[in-house]
Amino acid sequence: MTKRLLVANDLPGIGKVALAASLPILAACQIETAILPTVLLSSHTGGFPAVAVADMAWLVKDYLTQWQQLELTLDGLLIGYCRSAELLEQLQVYAQHENVPIILDPVLGDKGKLYTGFDQDYVASMRQVARQSTILLPNLTEAALLTDSAYLGEDYGRDEIEHLLRKLADFGCQHVILTGVSFDESEIGLAYYDVRQDKISYHMTRQLPYHFFGTGDIVAILVAAIVVENLAFETALPEVLDFLEASLVSTSQLARDVKYGVYFEPHLAKLSQQFEQLRNKG
Ligand code: PXL
């Protein structure tokens, strides 16, 4: 059966983060999409000058109104960057109405700080969505904000990560994935907590000496693909990390400014094969 994922995220024209990365990657996984651009931008905001921005929140209600009238089968809703509590609530209500699982990338901040434009009320709204989500995928900053605990910074051990995963599980999700976890300079990756089985595992890639843009978005979209296809996380997550690492190596070999985005395109064919194999196994 063909699966369809609703992806609510921002869409930059240049820089390939968020929706711009999600669509080709989902297509490679043979997953159809319902596309909800929350914000349009001429490029992402990480280092480009004079970015043109249009907030599309005003249109979202009309999108969802139309979609409710269609015979649209949806298998999941990935929530990424939203700019208002109202938008989060609209998506939450829609997911409830359509009875689809929410995969939540709780975009709130990075490096210990809330992104500009967000406040504690917005964090509280994000907690509300987290309580209704099947999967929660925060970075360490977002995990601290959601659980109202101190940001772990750059120096932490497994005990602290595992404590944080368990606190996040209190939101009631079945799966929690902490992104950007690194215990030493050579590796970075994910800490995954399978709540029902009370099992924690780590999935790491080689850490390259660059700050790439959109790696969290790539992880989120592939995790959403795993959810809608109902694949086993334990076997699928290593494929996610392999795809990411290969893409980052290709990006670094381009010798261009990394702000132009992750060069994942050469690896889509292999990703497609790996997903097909996982689907057949499942
Ligand atoms: O995935 C990161 C991201 C998403 N969306 C926008 C961004 C960035 C990172 O800079 O600017 C608009």
Token couple for 111: 């490096």
Nearest CA to ligand 1 atom 2: 214
Residue 282 has pLDDT above 80, yes or no: no
User: Closest Cα partner for 165 from 155, 152, 184, 183?
Assistant: 152
Instruction: Report CA(217)–ligand 1 centroid distance (Å).
Output: 9
What pLDDT is stored for residue 45 in this prediction? 93
User: Closest Cα partner for 22 from 115, 45, 11?
Assistant: 11
Full DSSP string of 63-131: HHHHHHHS----SEEEE-----HHHHHHHHHHHHHHT--EEE----EETTEEPTT--HHHHHHHHHHHH
Atom of ligand 1 at shortest range from CA of 47: 10
In angstroms and rounded to an integer, the radius of gyration of the C-alpha atoms of the chain is 18
What pLDDT is stored for residue 210 in this prediction? 93
Q: What is the rounded average pLDDT for all residues in the chain?
A: 97
Nearest CA to ligand 1 atom 8: 44
Q: 171-187 burial, b if ≥16 CB within 10 A, otherwise e?
A: bebbbbbbbbbebeeee
Nearest CA to ligand 1 atom 7: 44
Residue 159 has pLDDT above 90, yes or no: yes
What pLDDT is stored for residue 63 in this prediction? 97
* Dist. CA 177–CA 168, nearest whole Å: 9
Instruction: Report CA(9)–ligand 1 centroid distance (Å).
Output: 10
Pocket of ligand 1 (CB under 6 A): 10, 12, 17-18, 41, 44-46, 81, 213-214, 216-217
